[in-house]
Chains A and B, each alone.
Chain A
Amino acid sequence: MGKAVKIALAGEGGQGVQSVAQIIAEAANEEGREVLYIPNFGVEQRGGVSVAFLQIGTDPIGSPKFQKADIVVALSDRAVIRTRQYVDEKTTFVYDTSIEGVEEELPKNAGRILGIPAIEISKNELNPRVFNIIIMGAVIKATEVVSEDDARAALEKKLGYKFEQNPELRELNFKALARGMELVEKAR
């Protein structure tokens, strides 16, 4: 029996963690998996750390939120601090290596810590606009809950109208996705 994979994605407002979570959720749903996605939506949602809680499994999902995640992805120093509570010895903790001085804050109890240079790559190699798609690639590689093909299909569904206007955008997004997957592969 497969227990649901629990994922917490956290970042600053504007880093797109909610849209990433939603695209992954929809992709997994399309695959016929049981999926539950809930954003945190307290008063703090304006100007605070944004956290997306995502669970993907084969059986109906229990509680919408969870105490410990299988994968935590934190994209800012505040996000690292905020999400430490979801970490235990089974958790893979993914953070962006360009966050300065964050090493001290990383959860010592995590099963595994993966640093990925997503912000840097999006700036220097691709385009800052696809930063969240790199993260999406990282998440699907780290969790293996969604195949790359389905992730592409989900992107197509979500951004297809933009891709029609500008086919280069499609290439850029798919490249970002692949790059994100690669980063996790390497970090392992």
Chain B
Amino acid sequence: MTMIPQMPKSWRLESKPHKFCPGCGHGLVLKALGEAIDELGIQDKVVFGADIGCSLLAWDFFNVDTVQTHHGRTTPVVTGVKRANPDVICIAYMGDGGGYAIGSQHLVNAAARNERITAILVNNCNYAMTGGQMAPTTLPGMKTETTPYGRDVRESGYPTQGPEMVAAITREGSYVARGTVANLKQLKGFLKKALQNQMDGNGFSFVEALSTCPTNWRTNAKDTWAFVEKEMTKFFNVGELKNPAAKEGE
């Protein structure tokens, strides 16, 4: 008899075990998201958009209405859904390339327009699906397939500070946070608040999740966690940047 590990109710059993690489952080982010959906009881109302990249492997992950889009275009697709039917709860799930490079104009403008959607961006410092090229979030000096001698900041700048940017361009009603797969409980809390913020009709909600990519980082388990917890956090501060709900309570 095999033991079935405890899975969120909103997960789709037929697609498990999932297709992410061993040690990939996506599964953890999606677990936190699944639990958040369960706890909010919104499974039947969610429309989940999956960007191209490793994010796409989440397309059959949940028992929720799901649509694959194009690279970078998940934000406008779910924006279109939400504008046409404000009753559904829209999630745009993307990677750092999709959100901060090819789809950055969509992210920026959806945030500026305060679209009532929830964007979740998984930051693993590289384009993983395409074989590990430099992403906007690649750390200075970090080696990738297109920065074989390390990211030279004089050539290609510093890592994109996504949540900081979103926080800077949004006004009242937006929720912005950066979590990490190294602290799932906190990440789940952020995701839950980001969804609740949409449900309350407040505004744009954005959560970046620091994540792992041992395949492209070419790291063992220990080094993988060390990279997330020690290297990534040097550039990416974990925590809440904006929370409309906190105004009264705190």
Q: Are chains A and B touching in the complex at the 8 Å CB cutoff?
A: no
- A-side residues, CB < 8 A to B, are none
- B-side residues, CB < 8 A to A, are none
